[in-house]
Amino acid sequence: MPKRISLSPALEEKLLSAKKVVILSGAGVSSESGISTFRDKDGLWEKFKPEDLATPSAFQRNPQLVWEWYAYRRKKIQSVKPNPAHVAIAKMEKIFPEFLLVTQNIDNLHQKAGSRKLVELHGNINRNKCFTCEKISSDSKSDSKTVPPLCPCGGYLRPDVVWFGELLPEKALEPAQRASIEAELFFSVGTSALVYPAASLPFLAKEAGAFVVEINTGETEISPAVDELLLGKAGEILPVIVKFLKQNRKNKK
Ligand code: BV8
Ligand code: ZN
């Protein structure tokens, strides 16, 4: 029997009054869908070192290995569904007048659950990009004769995700930073808050006056700085928050 989840009076007050809300999500939100996280005990990185795979130099050194690793992850992701955490986040988008989901995840599960007001800080595994001319393509190229598949320009295709040492897309980072500064209520959900610049967003929100809530199964780098730490599974805690909102918030749409 999952333990009873109680929300503090301060958080309940914020949930009822906040107009501008931001949620930063990480791999922990997808873990209940069966997707390994990066740094948990059975995390993806256990088997590989990030430097070995999720960097431009790794791709230049061994494009086949990196492409195969993403093909393996793509296949895994295609076989799983959004979990109650993704569904709850999609519902919260409809409850608050101004809402932005800032995800570090590349698994497309938020979109599958119905989230629309979101930015993808680290790209999306379902999209490909040419390593040479940067042209984006969405077809899986699963029938390609070469591994990785080739762009019409002759360059190798790579997943359209942000690797370590690569800049985040300005069209995602800039709105994420602006919304974090304007937020009255900021949730950090299922992220170890180790990867920058994504991990700077909770601090940006806090310094600008937001009430910052962390939802995680364990403590993280930002736990000492948040206003409320809800320890537990995102798939159990977020539905409790949505239930509270639906029962108590006047202007719910
Ligand atoms: C950049 C896409 C400018 C690819 C990812 C030193 C040298 C070089 C670089 C750096 C350096 N120091 C800092 C940097 C910058 C570097 C960085 O931050 N490194 C870290 C590791 C120190 N950042 C970058 O390189 C970024 N670019 O800064 O450009 C620049 C340029 C050159 C040099 C310097 C700077 C680009 C970062 C983007 C990398 N790409 N992913 C792919 O997916 O293959 S990052 C990867 O980590 C994923 O996107 C993932 O989302 C992200 C963060 O991880 P989390 O999501 O937090 O997942 P994690 O497993 O860590 O945590 C899961 C959490 O969930 C845990 O806390 C767990 O307790 C919790 N949990 C588990 N289950 C549940 C749960 N919580 C709730 N409910 C549950 N059920
Ligand atoms: Zn090309």
Task: Encode pLDDT of 186-236 as tens digits.
Answer: 999 999 999 999 999 999 999 999 999 999 999 999 999 999 999 999 999
Residue ranges, comma separated, of all CATH 3.40.50.1220 domains in the chain are 9-35+82-122+168-248
38 lines ligand 1 (CB under 6 A): yes
pLDDT of residue 40: 74
Residue nearest atom 34 of ligand 1, based on CA coordinates: 165
CA 209 to chain centre: 23
8 A C-beta contact, residue 253 and residue 94: yes
> Which of 231, 226, 162, 240 is closest to 190 using CA atoms?
231
Cα of 121 from ligand 2 centre, angstroms: 23
Residue nearest atom 74 of ligand 1, based on CA coordinates: 28
Cα of 83 from ligand 2 centre, angstroms: 36
Q: Is 122 a catalytic residue?
A: yes
Name beta bridge partners: 185: 21, 211
70 lines ligand 1 (CB under 6 A): no
The arrangement of secondary structure in 36-79+125-161, i.e. its CATH architecture, is 2-Layer Sandwich (3.30)
Mean pLDDT of 240-249: 96
Fold of 9-35+82-122+168-248: Rossmann fold (3.40.50)
Q: Which atom of ligand 1 is nearest to the CA of 196?
A: 18
* Residue 251 pLDDT exceeds 90: no
8 A C-beta contact, residue 99 and residue 21: yes
**103-118 confidence digits (pLDDT tens):** 999 999 999 999 999 9
* Residue 238 pLDDT exceeds 70: yes
25 lines ligand 1 (CB under 6 A): no
